[in-house]
Amino acid sequence: MNPILSALIRIVLSTLGLAVSFLPRPFELWLGPRLGRLYLVLDPRRRKIAYDNIRRCLPELKEAGWSRLLNENYRHYGILALEILHMLSPLPGHYRRYAQKVSRFEGLENWKRAHDKGKGVLFVSAHLANWELMAAAGALRGIPITMVTRHLKPEWLHKKMEAVRLSVNIRCAYPPRTMPLVLKGLRAGESIGFVLDQYAPPPMGIPVPFFGVKVDTLAAVGSLAQRTGAAIIPARQKRDASGLVHGIVEPELDLGQARSHPAQATEILARKVEDWIRANPSQWLWVHRRFKNVVWPLVSSALSLLLPLLSPAAAASFKGESCASCHAHIRDAAGSKEPKPAEFFGEYEAAIIGGGLSGLSAAYSLKDKKVVVLEKDDEPGGKTRRENFSRWSYASGAVYTSEPEGPILKMFSELGIYPLKFKSPVHIYWENGRLLEEWISEKGFSEVASDDAQRAQLKGLWARLKQIDAEGKLTIPIQESDPQALQEYDSISFWDYLLKNYGRFAAQIGDYYCRDIFGTGAKDYSAFFGLMYMASEIPDSYSWPGGLGEIAQALAKNLGGRIKTGAMVERVIASQDHVRVIFRRGDKRYEIKAQTAILAVPSFITRRITTGLSEKKQKALAAVRYSAYANVAMQFKKPVFEKAFVLWTPKLSFADITFPGGERLEGPPSKQVGQVAQASMPMGSGDGRRWLQSRSDEEIRKLVLADVEKVLPGAAAQIEDLNIIRWGHAMPIMGPGYLSKIQEELRRPEGRLFFAGVDTQGPAIEGAMFSGFQAAEQARRFLSQWKK
């Protein structure tokens, strides 16, 4: 948030917090409903959400009942808002006194009985009446409670809420450390509070019935109860006619057989919450987007007519980087004790962690050694993995590359593969119905610009890109580049570079390019990477029908049994004499003893699984941020676009659509009928990643279909299959300073450990393969010296 706006909000909220501190409660209960009525009038967007939720969940009330309930519900929001403002009061101890005054706690004996069993308590609550007051009332009666909640923005608000909760003895657990804190609390016999009525997408949530439809609901409580034996206690709130907020703790919930089935437990809990809401509907948060992506029985939008065309499985299955198992075994287990027990798996000269292109290339270079690749997924390939529709294969990630050369060309030749060159035009640009042929060209740049001033900016940029292309100066490997130039281009963002040298329009074009290619804007990338990659679009582009998965498939065939799939590495422990690698395969744990290990996984994984790294290395690994992408793959019944390989589409939900089918490539014409395409949705980082994780396939699909129709009218009706592949950590963000301050350190070997992966090179398959060759070479040198 803009710091000035944040400061202004802080002043306003603190002032209001101070003001409400002096309000007599009867006046507050008079004022609140009036403020709520005002909110009802002033915010039509929220009002519609609340009204639609009420109408769909409680159809039996009919129109008059819906309106009446909406009005009562908004009166409740007014009181709730004033109550919450007390939490922002700057007066020391105010909130504690206030909570004691306006809340009552019932059922302490129920908690005590469950607590005395010694396995911890899981409170399940909902956004009824005032949940903060309920927690405060409990904590003030001596319940040691940790609330599972979100990290608020801006930071000052987060800190303020944390402090005020602590003032009433409530602790909080936030992502990404939620699970370790929750488990620690339960182990100590404490009580953990969950509110279970919010939308929780996969992988944390599962769809369970709620008001007659299936809604994604947090599944953690059921799993935690099963895992730890903690008691589940429903706890609800209601505000009585006099305004007192009652926190009511019910007896421990007996889940019966559902205790060993987390999904069934979640269903029971969701039913409980629904019963509470039905009993007291005016005090629930109907303005919540609780029913995200639910297709209610009545759908009327034009797009919904396309729903039956798509396979039902497409909407239900999750594809891409699924965080659940990584979170459980790596993120939340980081720093915990060494996982035990592990069965001995074998001795190797080199253990390679990660079977993406970097790991596979490293293994290929070390084929003459006793080498093993451990890959957590069922297939190797990482972000180049190829997947299949019924009639076409498609790329789940990477799609095209430049002309192979050097060690990459050598490996391709030995593997017997060679990519096909795209016919011109390769890059068609679409904007509001206008198509520009080959926009990354001198002519294309002059047409993208809408006046002479813009044209002049792009002319300058084009001249620079051409020069880089001709000189080949800013190319991988960077060690061969001019260090002075490196310094110059590394210290500045691509956006600032373009703005300074050419002007705002050139910066906007560079920004769009970066979003498409790197998943995040030109301000996030250094001028070095922006220029180098943009210049790399000038020479020919290459791929295979079905994308770059061909390389991983050929490597996998070549490496055969050296690759162990379904093997998630949990720990890499290096000592003077050897490296121990502990991995999980199915329910079992194994241990490898190796002379060297190559970490060919993204930095955020390396950092968490490797013990004993130097502080410098850990710092560099922790400094790498990632952009996110959704890749929406579509299989069309008949070809819908045959003019170019990439259709660039600024200002839509996706940044481009690529068509890696056989038709647009030189070489033998494809025998396949129809066409496959991928819409690429860059998400940036942070909020973008959260967006990607919180949207259902259904919601993303609707967005994409609407835009596909804009670009290629009639194409949506030709879709016979569609898959959404989510890459939460698609590419490392190589911002200013990355090259000089981070990358060199990422690559530096430590003892028997060697480091590969695109983070150590450049965010493309060449970078991945090159990093594998380089790490393999270092390991080979170590092995030969060590043997002597």
Ligand X SMILES: Cc1cc2nc3c(=O)[nH]c(=O)nc-3n(C[C@H](O)[C@H](O)[C@H](O)COP(=O)(O)OP(=O)(O)OC[C@H]3O[C@@H](n4cnc5c(N)ncnc54)[C@H](O)[C@@H]3O)c2cc1C
Which positions lie near ligand X, rule CB under 6 A? 330, 353-359, 374-377, 382-384, 397-401, 568-569, 600-602, 605, 609, 629, 631, 727, 730-731, 757-758, 763-765, 768
Alpha-carbon distance of 518 to 150, in angstroms, equals: 28
Alpha-carbon distance of 481 to 472, in angstroms, equals: 9
Token reading at 453: 């001033």
- Cβ atoms of 129 and 103 within 8 Å: the answer is no
Nearer to ligand X, 494 or 727 (CB): 727
- Cβ atoms of 404 and 419 within 8 Å: the answer is yes
Token reading at 269: 């809990």
Token reading at 47: 């009002």
Nearer to ligand X, 255 or 330 (CB): 330
Nearer to ligand X, 36 or 602 (CB): 602
- Cβ atoms of 646 and 703 within 8 Å: the answer is no
Nearer to ligand X, 197 or 570 (CB): 570
- Minimal CA–CA distance to 138: which of 171, 160, 161? 171
In whole angstroms, the minimum distance from the beta carbon of 764 to ligand X comes to: 3
- Minimal CA–CA distance to 545: which of 443, 697, 744, 393? 393
In whole angstroms, the minimum distance from the beta carbon of 661 to ligand X comes to: 15
- Minimal CA–CA distance to 579: which of 606, 566, 598, 564? 598
- Cβ atoms of 48 and 124 within 8 Å: the answer is no
Token reading at 766: 């060449």
Nearer to ligand X, 1 or 409 (CB): 409
Nearer to ligand X, 294 or 765 (CB): 765
Alpha-carbon distance of 378 to 240, in angstroms, equals: 56
In whole angstroms, the minimum distance from the beta carbon of 730 to ligand X comes to: 3
- Cβ atoms of 204 and 216 within 8 Å: the answer is no
In whole angstroms, the minimum distance from the beta carbon of 155 to ligand X comes to: 30
Which helix (H) or strand (E) covers residue 722, if one does? strand 719-732
Nearer to ligand X, 262 or 767 (CB): 767
- Cβ atoms of 98 and 137 within 8 Å: the answer is no
Q: What SS3 state is found at 773?
A: helix
- Cβ atoms of 645 and 664 within 8 Å: the answer is yes
Nearer to ligand X, 258 or 395 (CB): 395
In whole angstroms, the minimum distance from the beta carbon of 70 to ligand X comes to: 43
Which helix (H) or strand (E) covers residue 74, if one does? helix 62-85
Cis peptide before 749 (omega within 30 of 0): no
Helix ranges, 404-450 (H): 406-415, 442-448
Residue type present at position 183: L
In whole angstroms, the minimum distance from the beta carbon of 773 to ligand X comes to: 12
Q: What is the dihedral of CA 629, 768, 380, 619, to 10 degrees?
A: -70
Nearer to ligand X, 277 or 657 (CB): 657
Nearer to ligand X, 131 or 348 (CB): 348
In whole angstroms, the minimum distance from the beta carbon of 609 to ligand X comes to: 6
In whole angstroms, the minimum distance from the beta carbon of 356 to ligand X comes to: 2
In whole angstroms, the minimum distance from the beta carbon of 408 to ligand X comes to: 11
Nearer to ligand X, 72 or 377 (CB): 377
Nearer to ligand X, 65 or 407 (CB): 407
In whole angstroms, the minimum distance from the beta carbon of 398 to ligand X comes to: 3
What does 104-165 look like in DSSP terms, one character per residue?
EEE-HHHHHHHHTTSS-EEEEE-SBS-HHHHHHHHHHTT--EEEE-PPPSSHHHHHHHHHHH
Which helix (H) or strand (E) covers residue 589, if one does? strand 588-599
